[in-house]
Amino acid sequence: MGAPTFVSGRVRVRVPATSANLGPGFDALGLALGLYDEVEIGVAPGGLSVTVRGEGADEVPTDENHLVVRALRATLDRLGGQPPGLTLSCTNRVPHGRGLGSSAAAIVAGVLAGRALAESGVSAMDDAGVLALATELEGHPDNVAACLRGGLTIAWMTDSNIRGSSGQAAGKPAGRAVRLEPARVQPVVFVPRTELSTRTARGLLPEVVPHADAAANAGRAALLVAALTGTQGETGRSAGVPGAPDVPGSPPAGEVDLALLLAATEDRLHQDYRAPAMPDSAQLVADLRRHGHPAVISGAGPTVLAFVRPGGEQELRADTPDGWAVHVLPVDLAGARVTSASTGE
């Protein structure tokens, strides 16, 4: 592969927040949310200029250690070479260290920007290659898959023995994912002021869990996929079955059955182990669930994700702890997007 040439215009990328795990789907399930970071990148005659606005503006590095820059550099290395200089402008809206996929958003933004910046980038690295590289940089595929593809994603790791357009070195584990279209539901996120690093949260997990807990989570994770894609409970209607009758009290066609989702979001693998590091979040999850609302720790926490019927977010207001931010967000169905990669701008 020869050294790449670069577009002369600026590349803009928009990436959504994500919530991983969703209760039982540890390191596998992810949901894209309508809260976005935006980056703008261009080639410069030399050096590196990084400006950051919004979340983390006074905290993140503005040099080669910036996560978007690191992902961008890794992508351009994979594509064959670096430009003489770069300018990067970041507008961050996804809270950092809260379990809403801020690091995945930065990595996906950098990889997509790098691919778009190189004139032959799209032909040299396909979408599977983008996911593989983003997973390699992030360490796990759940958030990056949802960020890239939008909607509900199921992600896993596999061994890759083919380089080519995948962009993944032979023999390294590679991230893979499938995307599903979720039924209508309203996510609500409760964001505390405190942060919790993913590394700290992972350090609280045991190396071995009881077989019964693993089996319970496998069943709940399967049920969760069914619930989020429109399957209804024992008294409801299976979405997509022509002529299936309405049952009194069941959700309208195309909406998530919240009673089924409440059962489907039970978890035994990670939330209880992490509760001592985020007691207020654990208490909020318990309170919401006691009132019949499906609620989980978002990712590694400490943000809490709850689900209500569309337009029903007022039902949760009484449960909001003092000082927490509440965001009523749509499910993002589009995923990450390069919104501009033209010349002459």
Structural domain boundaries of the chain? 10-158+173-178+333-341, 186-232+252-328
Please report the pLDDT score of residue 195 as a whole number. 84
Please report the pLDDT score of residue 165 as a whole number. 41
Please report the pLDDT score of residue 249 as a whole number. 60
Please report the pLDDT score of residue 246 as a whole number. 47
Please report the pLDDT score of residue 232 as a whole number. 80
User: Which residue is listed with tokens 């931010």?
Assistant: 325
Could you tell me which of 326, 323, 324 has the C-alpha nearest to residue 187? 326
Instruction: Tell me the C-alpha distance between 167 and 255, whole Å.
Output: 38
Query: What count of other Cβ atoms lies within 10 Å of the Cβ of residue 307?
Result: 24
Stated pTM of the model: 0.89
SS3 assignment for 128-169: HHHHHHHHHHHCCCHHHHHHHHCCEEEEEEEECCCCHHHCCC
Q: Which residues are annotated binding-site positions for ATP?
A: 95-105
CATH number corresponding to 10-158+173-178+333-341: 3.30.230.10
State which H helix or E strand residue 339 sits in.
strand 337-340
Please report the pLDDT score of residue 315 as a whole number. 84
Homologous superfamily of 186-232+252-328 in CATH?
A: GHMP kinase, C-terminal domain (3.30.70.890)
Q: Which residues are annotated binding-site positions?
A: 95-105
Please report the pLDDT score of residue 241 as a whole number. 38
Query: b/e string for 207-245 if b means 16 or more Cβ within 10 A?
Result: eeeeeeeeebbeebbebbbbbbbbbbbeebbebeeeeee
Check residue 232 and report its DSSP letter.
-
Please report the pLDDT score of residue 201 as a whole number. 85
How far from chain centre, in Å, is Cα 186? 16
Ranges under pLDDT 50 in the chain = 161-169, 236-248, 343-345
Instruction: Tell me the C-alpha distance between 26 and 218, whole Å.
Output: 10
Please report the pLDDT score of residue 35 as a whole number. 98
Please report the pLDDT score of residue 254 as a whole number. 85
Instruction: Tell me the C-alpha distance between 319 and 322, whole Å.
Output: 9
